[in-house]
Structure formats: C-alpha cells, structure tokens
Amino acid sequence: MSRPASGDEQILMDAREAIASAQTVEQLRQAQAVVLPHTAQAIGVSPGWACQLRRRFIHGHIAGAPDAPTAGGRKRQNMSLEEEREFLAPFLESAALGGVLVVGQIKTALDKRLGREVALASVYNLLHRHNWRKLAPDKRHPQSDPLAQEEWKKNSPKRSPKSAKTGHKAKPSS
C-alpha cells in the first residue's frame, strides 16, 4: 500500500494544477513528486531526488522559474571572475615573460587578500579557471646553497669507497 500524499491541501491543489500546466519535464516531475510521493521510479528519478523535488515545490521553488536554484555554477565563490583576473594579473605577467609561476606564492597572496587560509586546491582551481596550464616546479629550494652544491659535485668521489673494497660481483646463476 502506498503512502498517501501529505502536506497542506492548498499545496496538493497547486501541485495538481502544476501537473496540468507544466511546460517542462522538470516542472512535471516536481509536481508529480508532490502528489505521488512514492512514484520516483515512474517519473524517472531516484527516491531521494523525488523527495527533494517535492520539498522544493512545497517551498515555492518551481523548476525552470528564474529564481529557482540552478545546478552547477560557482555557488561559494571567493571573488568574482573579474576580481580573480585582477588578482592573477601580476603573477601571469611575470610568468609570461619567462618566469615561473609558483603556486605557493599565489596561495600566500590569496590567503592575505581573503583574510583567511584557503586550500591549495583552491589555487589550482583558480588557475584552471583562467586557463593556466603551464605549471612548473621550483627550480631550486629557497634555502639551498648553489655554491656548496657545485663544490660538492667537484670534490665528490666517482665511486663509493665501500663498493671499491668489496668488489661486488654478480652471483652465478644455478
């Protein structure tokens, strides 16, 4: 036995009218979800989605209406696209002139601009939104000493002294 439709009588009458006057499939499914709450399979959606359609209808969010919530998009944006372009401009200009785009520096600047810490993924998403694909690693560690590295390369032995003494040979195969 199916569960009877619940809710305010006025909402049920509105939903029945919406079924008759639906202009899109989404509007029809939403109204059907209100009148027939256990018909998710019949209207071609999951039970959870049918419940969500029903709740949206009850709260006045009619599918396809201009004020209806839309799927996708940037719901929780930190800055508008224009603000992002302005923020990234100095970094992209220096990178275009042969410099390297360092994500860590952009993250630090973004944290400072927003006044809070953001995830590193947010910086990569920001760069992706603005079609930046040329990501390169740092050439060297900021605390490295190039002179000490070169000196070590010049004076390092060609072979390890241990390997020269033991004279490792390949084991004969049996």
Decide if pLDDT at 93 tops 70.
Answer: yes
CA 174 to CA 172: how far, in whole Å?
6
**168, pLDDT greater than 60:** no
Cα–Cα distances in Å, from 14 out to 3, 37, 115, 163?
19, 15, 47, 87
Q: Give the tens place of pLDDT for each residue, 95-122.
A: 777 767 788 999 999 999 999 999 999 9
Residue 88 pLDDT more than 70? yes
DSSP code, position 93: H
Q: Which two tokens stand for residue 162?
A: 């241990």
Q: What is the pLDDT of residue 87?
A: 94
In this predicted model, which residue has the larger pLDDT, 68 or 155?
A: 155
pLDDT band at 145 (very low <50, low <70, confident <90, very high): confident
Residues 133-145 have a mean pLDDT of 70
pLDDT at 1: 47
* pLDDT tens, position by position, 6-46: 556 777 788 888 888 888 888 887 777 777 665 666 777 78
pTM of the model: 0.40
Q: Which residue has the higher pLDDT, 125 or 7?
A: 125
* pLDDT for res 91: 87
CB pairs under 8 A, 24+ apart, for 60-63? 62/18, 62/27, 62/30, 63/24, 63/26, 63/27, 63/29, 63/30
Q: For 104-173, give the DSSP string.
A: HHHHHHHHHHHTS---HHHHHHHHHHTT-------SS-TT--HHHHHHHHHHS-SS-HHHHHHT--PPPP
Predicted confidence (pLDDT) at residue 56 exceeds the cutoff of 70: yes
